[in-house]
Amino acid sequence: MPRILIIAGEASGDLHGAHLAKAIAAQDASAQLVGIGGPGMRAAGVTMIAGVPQLDLVGLVGLSAVRAIIQRVLAVRRVLKAEPWDLVVFIDNPGLNMRLARMAKAAGRRVLYYIAPQIWAWRPGRMKWIQERVDHVVVILPFEPDLYRRAGVRCTFVGHPLLDSVAPDYDRHALRRQFNLEESAPVIGLFPGSRVAEVNMLLPVLLQTAAELVKRDPKTQFILAQASSIDDNLLHDLLRESPVPVLVVKDQASEAMAVSDLLLVASGTATLQAAVVGTPMILLYKTTRPTYWVARMWIRVKWIGLVNLVAGRTVVPELIQDEATVERLTKEACRLLNDRQAYDEMKNGLRQVRQSLGDPGASFRTAQVVLAECRA
């Protein structure tokens, strides 16, 4: 009976942990799954460790956050030492999990890391940490295995979990009827991000761009996918001054992508989701100037968009910081909407990206690796 400890530090990690737990139980009903996570893992049958809350610190600031971090790290240390775990599985959240992985190794536990740190993007020196603290890395991007194997780290590519949550195809005509959108008029999807700072920074630019696009084609329609992490009041305040009508949908990001002719998307996982759906897009990102300059010093990749990184070439335009202007967005949007060859070339590039992400079943394959590690 394998005893597995699953540690997920954030809401997204809790979701992946829940899918993984279900896949492990389906393959080995005797597996004892214990975890530190959230409601998703609990609902999936993982026994939550009493007295150790979910590790994310949303809503805490200053000394409260520091005190909470210390309390939770000490609690995890006690848990790692108290039980003879066959395997400790860390999911994403490298800022905290890499430190906890060191504790796990010090306690003599085998460590598997699922959704590994993006060392290819910044702070490549962390590879030494992984070599010292992790027995097996499970990755979800196709270019990652070579990087880890060259460093002598055991690594398995399982495909991207997005392929399990995005439908193989969507009926755009049915979606337009569902969302009450005109069939013959263009639809632009607005995806301003999942963090408050991103939405505050990017949505005003997107709304001004929408106004410019309506000047060129008054029939243009707009749909905005609201992330679950964004409060209704924030969006209401920002949209109140919108120069154009915008349809807001919740928990239907893939459907909003599929119903659209073109997407304006904040850099992040949403760009890969759009590639899986297959809708052409323009990637944009802006942050505060100090943050941008610090990031420029650390980031070591040619592109910041996951779509382009997976493709190894420029498939979608990236408008970053000073380039993320209303003028540039409008120009790129008009180009793609009016140049059928460029539009179709991007769709073909997105199709290739989707193919390179592997097949559905990432959680199932990760569960196979987890159980094999327990038997090793």
Under 8 Å between Cβ of 251 and 212: no
Q: Among residues 85, 105, 4, 94, which one has the least CA distance to residue 369? A: 4
Task: Supply the pLDDT for residue 61.
Answer: 46
Q: Does position 168 have pLDDT exceeding 80, yes or no? A: yes
Write the CB contacts of 204 (distance below 8 Å, at least 6 apart in sequence): 238
Under 8 Å between Cβ of 16 and 92: yes
Task: Tokens 């993320």: give the residue.
Answer: 324
In the chain, what is the greatest distance between 2 CA atoms, to the nearest angstrom? 66
Q: Taking the CA of residue 181 as centre, how many other CA atoms within 13 Å lie in the half-sphere pointing to its CB?
A: 31
pLDDT tens track for 202-223: 999 999 999 999 999 999 999 9
Q: Percentage of the chain with pLDDT > 90?
A: 60
pLDDT band at 317; cut points 50, 70, 90: very high
pLDDT tens track for 293-304: 665 655 665 777
Under 8 Å between Cβ of 7 and 96: no
Q: Is 202 exposed, middle or buried (0-12, 13-18, 19+ CB in 10 A)?
A: buried
Q: Does position 121 have pLDDT exceeding 60, yes or no? A: no
Q: Does position 60 have pLDDT exceeding 80, yes or no? A: no
Q: Among residues 315, 333, 330, which one has the least CA distance to residue 261? A: 333
pLDDT band at 117; cut points 50, 70, 90: confident
Domain spanning 172-356, CATH architecture: 3-Layer(aba) Sandwich (3.40)
In CATH, what number does 3-159+361-375 get? 3.40.50.2000
Cα–Cα distance measured from residue 360 to residue 79, given in angstroms and rounded to the nearest whole number: 34
In the chain, residues under CATH classification 3.40.50.2000 are 3-159+361-375, 172-356
Q: Does position 366 have pLDDT exceeding 50, yes or no? A: yes
pLDDT band at 65; cut points 50, 70, 90: low
Cα–Cα distance measured from residue 275 to residue 265, given in angstroms and rounded to the nearest whole number: 11
